[in-house]
Chains A and B, each alone.
Chain A
Amino acid sequence: MWRKPVLKKTVTAASAVLMCAAAVSGCGSDSSASDGNDQIVMGFSQVGAESGWRTANTESIKASAKAAGFELKFSDAQGKQENQIKAIRSFIQQKVDVIAFSPVVETGWDTVLQEAKRANIPVILTDRAVDTEDTSLYKTFLGSDFVLEGEKAGQWLVENAADADVDGDGDVNVVQLEGTTGAAPAIDRAEGFAEAIKTDSKIKVSASQTGDFTRDGGKQVMESFLNSEDGIDVVFAHNDDMGLGAIEAIEASGLEPGKDIKIITVDAVKDGMAALAKGQINFIVECNPLLGDQLMDLANKVLDGEEVPARVVTEETTFTPEQAAEVLADRKY
C-alpha cells in the first residue's frame, strides 16, 4: 500500500522536472543563471487563458518573475480545479520556495493547502479568494477590490454630476449594465457604486439589468433601455465589453455616445481604452491584471519572514479620455 503511490508521485515529479528542464533550456541565455542554489523558485498555477485580461495577467507574472530573478514554474489549469490541485501537489514535491495561484473556484482547497503548510511552503492567492475556515492556510490574498472599483465609478459621477445631467432636467438618470448574475465582480461593483452615489440625491439608478459581461448582452439590454427609459443621462457598465455593446446601441438610436449619454465602465482593456480615447466612453476604472511586480514583492517579504497583511489590493488607477490617449499606445491587453 505504500510503495505504489510513492512510485507514482516520483514519476510525476520526475516528468515535471524534465518538463521544467526543457522549459529552462528553451530560455537560452537565462539557463546558466538559474543553476544557482540561492535562486527563489515560485510555483504558479493559473486559471487558464479564457480572456485577454487573463493572458495579460499571465504575461505580467512571467515578466516580473524574470525581472526579480525568480525561477517560475508555471502551470495552466485550463479552468479545472483538479488540474490546479495536481499542479500544487507537484510544486510541493519539487520543494519550491513559494506557491502562488489563482483559484478556479472558491471551495475545496483545504486538503491540498494543508499539505503545502505541512511542507512549510507559503501560499499566496492572486486575483481570486478561497473560501476556507482556516486562514492560516495562505499568507495573503493579492487582488482587486471590486467594491472599491464600483465606488470609484460612483465618485466620479458625483463629482461630475452637473456635466452628467445631459438633458438638464436636474436629475441624473443612470442605467446599469450588470455583470453575470451572482459573479463577485458584478455584485461588488453594483454595491460600491450604489454606496458612492448615495451622497447625491439627484443621481439615481432608474434601470438595471444583466448583460452577462458580453458585448452582445450589453448591446441588447441597452437597446431595450433606450426604448423604455426616458432621459437616460449615464450608463454604468460593469465591464468594458458591455460598455462597447452599449455604444453600438446608442449610435443606432441616433445619439452620440459620450456626449448625449455619458458612459462609465470598469476594466480598461485595450478596446475599451481606444473608445475612451475617442470620447465614446467618459471614464474607466481600471481592474489591473498586471500584478506581477506586487506578487514578487510579496513573495520576497513572505520568504524573509516579514509580516504581510492578509489582504493586499492591486494597485489600480482610473482613466479619463486624455489619460487614455496617452497610454493607449503602450497598452498590452
Chain B
Amino acid sequence: MTDTLTPPEAGRRTASPVRGPRLVARLLASPLLWPVMALVVLLVVNVVATPSFLDVRLQDGHLYGNVVDIARNSAPVLLVALGMTLVIATRGIDLSVGAIAAIAGAVACTRIVGAGDEGAAATAIMACTVALAICVLLGLWNGFLVSVVGIQPIIATLVLMVAGRGLAMLVTDGQITTVNNDTFSNLASGFVLGLPLAFLVAVAMVAVTGVLTRRTALGMLIEAVGINPEASRLAGVRSRTIIWTVYVFGAVCAGLAGVIIAANTNSVNANSLGLWIELDAILAVVIGGTALTGGRFSLLGTVVGALFITTLARTIPNIGIPSEANYLFKAMVVVAVCLIQSPRARAVLRVRRTAPVARKGNPA
C-alpha cells in the first residue's frame, strides 16, 4: 500500500514506475501530461491534413517518413535544450548557445576543408573533437562570468551571443564553406539500424545526463543551487563549481548541435547556423515543465518539448500555412500550450472539467 502514501506531483519526475490501478491516476497527475497531450494534438492535426503523415517505409535500408525526419531534425534543438535545462535549473540562462553552435560548425568545417585528406573519417573525427574542445573553452568563459565574476547570466551570455557569431564569421571568412566528407555527413544524415544517427546521439546524451543527474546526487545539487543558492552554499554545496559545470555542459551540447546542423547540409553558413536556436531551446525547456525560476527540472519534459517544437516546424509546410503567417501560427500554438500547462490557467478552466486527479489525493 505504499501507493497511497506517495504524494502525487511532489514526487521526483523520474520516480520508479507505479504498478496497479493507480498508474492511470499517476499518469494524469504527471507534469508531462500536458506537453505530451499537446504533441499528440499536433500529430492529429497533421494526420487530418495529410492522412499519410505517420507513414513510415523502408528506403535504401533505413526508415523514411515524416516521423523519422522529425526525430532527425529534432536532434540539434534537443541537444541545446538538454544543456539549457541544467543551466535553467541553476536559475541561469544561456543565450550564447546559437553562437556557440555556429562557432563549432565553422571550426569543424574549416578544419575538414583545410585537412590534407578531406574525405577521411579521421579528418572528420579530429575536426569535431577540436570544435568541441573550443566549445569547452567558450563554456568555461560563460561559467567564469556567471559564477566567479557574478554577472547576471542573461547579460554574461549575451556577450558571447553577439561576439560569437562574429567569431564564427572570422573563422569562415564570411563565406559559406562546403565540405565533402561522408563520415561528417553521416553524423546528420546517416542511419544506424535503420534509425537516424543524429537522433540516437541526442538520445544517448539525454540518457547519460539522466543517469548522471538522477542516479547520483548531482541532480539534487543542481536543483538546490537553483532553489536557493545562498542556502545551498551554507549547506556546503559547491555552488560555484556546479554553476560553472552546467555552463560548460551547455556549451558542449550546443557545439554538438552545431556540428550536426553543419553536417546536415555539408556546409556552414556562419550567418544562419543555429540562429535563434537558443529561443527554441528555452521554449522546449519551458514546454517540458521546467520553470525559468530555477530549481526542479525535467529531462523527459525537455525531450517532449524539443519534439513538439520540431513537429510544429514540420506542421507549417505540411498543412500549408502561408509563409507570411508562419510566426503568428507558431506564436498562437505556443501560447496555447503554455496556457494549458499553467496550473493557474487550468484552474480557471477546471469548472467544466471533472478531473480524476482532483478527486483523489491532490494536495492542492
Point out residues on A near B: beta carbons under 8 Å: 49-52, 54-55, 178, 181-182, 207-210, 212-217, 219-221, 223-225, 227-228, 241, 244-245, 248, 252-254, 271
Does A212 lie within 8 Å of B272, measured CB to CB?
yes
Q: Can you identify 24 A-B contacts, CB atoms within 8 angstroms?
A: A50-B271, A51-B271, A54-B174, A55-B175, A181-B324, A207-B320, A209-B323, A210-B323, A213-B272, A214-B269, A215-B176, A216-B265, A219-B265, A220-B73, A221-B317, A223-B69, A224-B314, A227-B65, A228-B49, A228-B50, A241-B269, A244-B265, A245-B265, A252-B189
Note all chain B residues with C-beta closer than 8 A to A224: 66, 69, 314, 317-318
Complexed CA–CA distance, A113 and B16 (Å): 72
Complexed CA–CA distance, A207 and B272 (Å): 24
Note all chain B residues with C-beta closer than 8 A to A254: 59-60, 64
Interface string of B81-99 (1 = CB under 8 A from A): 0000000000000000000
Given contacts A214-B269, A215-B269, contact A228 B317 (CB under 8 A): yes
User: Shortest Cβ distance from A328 into chain B, in angstroms?
Assistant: 14
Complexed CA–CA distance, A46 and B176 (Å): 19
User: Which residue of B52, B64, B175, B272 is within 8 Å of A253 (Cβ)?
Assistant: B64
User: Shortest Cβ distance from A275 into chain B, in angstroms?
Assistant: 10
Does A225 lie within 8 Å of B174, measured CB to CB?
no
Does A51 lie within 8 Å of B317, measured CB to CB?
no
Query: Can you name the residue of chain A whose Cβ is closest to the Cβ of B316?
Result: A209
Does B261 touch A at the CB level, under 8 Å? yes
Does B36 touch A at the CB level, under 8 Å? no
Does B261 lie within 8 Å of A216, measured CB to CB?
yes
Chain B residues numbered 304-331 whose CB sits less than 8 Å from any CB in chain A: 313-314, 316-318, 320, 322-324, 326
User: Which residue of A181, A223, A253, A271 is within 8 Å of B178 (Cβ)?
Assistant: A271
Note all chain A residues with C-beta closer than 8 A to B317: 207, 209, 221, 224-225, 228
Number of B residues whose C-beta is below 8 Å from A? 35
Does B324 lie within 8 Å of A219, measured CB to CB?
no
User: Shortest Cβ distance from B187 into chain A, in angstroms?
Assistant: 14
Does B181 touch A at the CB level, under 8 Å? no
Query: Can you name the residue of chain B whose Cβ is closest to the Cβ of A224?
Result: B317
Does B50 lie within 8 Å of A227, measured CB to CB?
yes
User: Shortest Cβ distance from B329 into chain A, in angstroms?
Assistant: 12
User: Which residue of B52, B174, B178, B261 is within 8 Å of A227 (Cβ)?
Assistant: B52
Complexed CA–CA distance, A271 and B265 (Å): 12
Does B142 touch A at the CB level, under 8 Å? no
Does B326 lie within 8 Å of A210, measured CB to CB?
yes
Note all chain B residues with C-beta closer than 8 A to A220: 69, 73, 313-314
Query: Can you name the residue of chain B whose Cβ is closest to the Cβ of A227?
Result: B66
Does B141 touch A at the CB level, under 8 Å? no
Query: Can you name the residue of chain B whose Cβ is closest to the Cβ of A270?
Result: B178
Point out residues on B near A: beta carbons under 8 Å: 49-50, 52-53, 59-60, 64-66, 69, 73, 174-176, 178, 189, 261, 264-267, 269, 271-273, 313-314, 316-318, 320, 322-324, 326
Note all chain B residues with C-beta closer than 8 A to A214: 269, 272
Complexed CA–CA distance, A190 and B50 (Å): 26
User: Shortest Cβ distance from A51 into chain B, in angstroms?
Assistant: 7
User: Shortest Cβ distance from B177 into chain A, in angstroms?
Assistant: 10
Complexed CA–CA distance, A225 and B314 (Å): 10
- A-B pairs with lowest CB-CB distance, top 3: A215-B265, A210-B323, A224-B317
Query: Can you name the residue of chain B whose Cβ is closest to the Cβ of A251?
Result: B189
Complexed CA–CA distance, A52 and B273 (Å): 16
User: Shortest Cβ distance from B301 into chain A, in angstroms?
Assistant: 24
User: Shortest Cβ distance from A257 into chain B, in angstroms?
Assistant: 14
Note all chain A residues with C-beta closer than 8 A to B59: 252-254
Does B189 lie within 8 Å of A51, measured CB to CB?
no
Complexed CA–CA distance, A214 and B261 (Å): 12
Note all chain B residues with C-beta closer than 8 A to A52: 175-176
User: Shortest Cβ distance from A291 into chain B, in angstroms?
Assistant: 19
Query: Can you name the residue of chain B whose Cβ is closest to the Cβ of A209?
Result: B317
Most buried by A among B59, B266, B272: B272
Complexed CA–CA distance, A216 and B264 (Å): 7
Complexed CA–CA distance, A55 and B172 (Å): 13
Note all chain B residues with C-beta closer than 8 A to A207: 317, 320
Does A227 lie within 8 Å of B69, measured CB to CB?
yes
User: Shortest Cβ distance from B320 into chain A, in angstroms?
Assistant: 6
Query: Can you name the residue of chain B whose Cβ is closest to the Cβ of A180?
Result: B323
Does A216 lie within 8 Å of B272, measured CB to CB?
yes
Complexed CA–CA distance, A225 and B53 (Å): 11
Complexed CA–CA distance, A11 and B332 (Å): 54
User: Shortest Cβ distance from B21 into chain A, in angstroms?
Assistant: 40
Complexed CA–CA distance, A247 and B335 (Å): 35
Complexed CA–CA distance, A216 and B52 (Å): 24
Given contacts A52-B175, A207-B317, contact A227 B53 (CB under 8 A): yes
User: Which residue of B66, B174, B189, B322 is within 8 Å of A55 (Cβ)?
Assistant: B174
Note all chain A residues with C-beta closer than 8 A to B267: 215, 244, 271
Note all chain A residues with C-beta closer than 8 A to B69: 220, 223-224, 227
User: Shortest Cβ distance from B308 into chain A, in angstroms?
Assistant: 16
User: Shortest Cβ distance from A78 into chain B, in angstroms?
Assistant: 10
User: Which residue of B174, B265, B323 is within 8 Å of A181 (Cβ)?
Assistant: B323
Note all chain B residues with C-beta closer than 8 A to A181: 323-324, 326
Query: Can you name the residue of chain B whose Cβ is closest to the Cβ of A217?
Result: B272
Query: Can you name the residue of chain A whose Cβ is closest to the Cβ of B62?
Result: A252
Complexed CA–CA distance, A29 and B3 (Å): 89
Does A241 lie within 8 Å of B189, measured CB to CB?
no
Complexed CA–CA distance, A223 and B326 (Å): 17
Supplied contacts A50-B174, A207-B320, 20 more A-B pairs, CB within 8 Å = A52-B176, A178-B323, A209-B316, A209-B323, A210-B323, A212-B272, A216-B265, A217-B272, A219-B264, A219-B265, A220-B313, A224-B66, A224-B317, A227-B52, A227-B65, A228-B53, A248-B264, A252-B64, A254-B60, A271-B176
User: Shortest Cβ distance from B265 into chain A, in angstroms?
Assistant: 4
User: Shortest Cβ distance from A106 into chain B, in angstroms?
Assistant: 19
Complexed CA–CA distance, A331 and B55 (Å): 43
Complexed CA–CA distance, A217 and B266 (Å): 13
User: Shortest Cβ distance from B275 into chain A, in angstroms?
Assistant: 9
Query: Can you name the residue of chain A whose Cβ is closest to the Cβ of B320?
Result: A207
Note all chain B residues with C-beta closer than 8 A to A221: 317
Complexed CA–CA distance, A221 and B314 (Å): 8
User: Shortest Cβ distance from B324 into chain A, in angstroms?
Assistant: 6
User: Shortest Cβ distance from A238 into chain B, in angstroms?
Assistant: 11
